[in-house]
């Protein structure tokens, strides 16, 4: 997706985003600082980014990739706005009829009427061939 004539790129990102660069032929994946480093634009280079926390509002994080020509002249930029969604499975872990967000019994299971832990029913049948 790089513009014609681009030979390197740099990445800027907001604090809530972590970015990694994986170059073909290198086992090492390198974390990208929020700005400053230029990377060679080689076939097989992969830029991975993820949110480290849920967003407080829509599009509150951003990643901007700047492309450069031979000699370091800027050519173009591409950007993406990100919204992190938090997902939590909250359960009635002590089986008292109240769903609690931080019940200490969420992480364990004890069988019986005095037991605790979530009861999860899973549908393992094949609805679609």
DSSP structure string for 95-128 = -SS--BTT-GGGG--B-STT-BS-------S-S-
Q: What pLDDT was estimated at residue 35? A: 66
Q: Would you give per-residue pLDDT tens digits along the chain (129 residues)?
A: 789 999 999 999 998 898 888 877 666 667 776 666 888 888 888 888 888 788 999 999 999 999 999 999 999 999 999 999 887 777 777 778 888 877 777 777 788 777 777 666 677 777 766
Give the Å distances, CA to CA, from 121 to 118, 127, 128: 10, 16, 19
Q: Which long-range contacts (CB under 8 A, 24 or more apart) does 107-114 make?
A: none
Residue 24: domain span: 6-82
DSSP structure string for 45-99 = -EEEEEESS--SSTT-EEEEEEEE-TTS-EEEEEEEEE--------B-TT-SS--
Q: Is residue 102 assigned to a domain?
A: no
Q: What is the CATH number of the domain that holds 62?
A: 2.60.40.1860
The reply to whether the predicted model has a pTM over 0.75 is: no
Domains: count for the chain:
1
Q: Is residue 64 assigned to a domain?
A: yes
Q: Is residue 59 assigned to a domain?
A: yes
Sheet holding 38-40, edge to edge: 38-40, 8-13, 61-68, 74-82
């Amino acid at each position: 997706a790089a513009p014609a004539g681009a030979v390197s790129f740099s990445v800027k990102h907001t604090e809530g985003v972590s970015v990694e660069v994986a170059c073909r032929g290198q086992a090492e994946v390198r974390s990208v600082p929020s700005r400053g480093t230029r990377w060679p634009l080689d076939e097989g280079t992969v830029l991975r980014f993820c949110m480290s926390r849920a967003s407080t509002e829509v599009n509150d994080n951003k990643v901007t990739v700047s492309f450069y020509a031979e000699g370091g002249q800027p050519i173009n930029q591409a950007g993406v706005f990100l919204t992190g969604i938090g997902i939590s499975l909250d359960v009635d872990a002590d089986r008292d009829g109240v769903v609690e967000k931080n019940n200490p019994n969420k992480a364990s299971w004890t069988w019986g009427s005095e037991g605790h832990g979530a009861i999860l029913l899973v549908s393992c049948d094949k609805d679609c061939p």
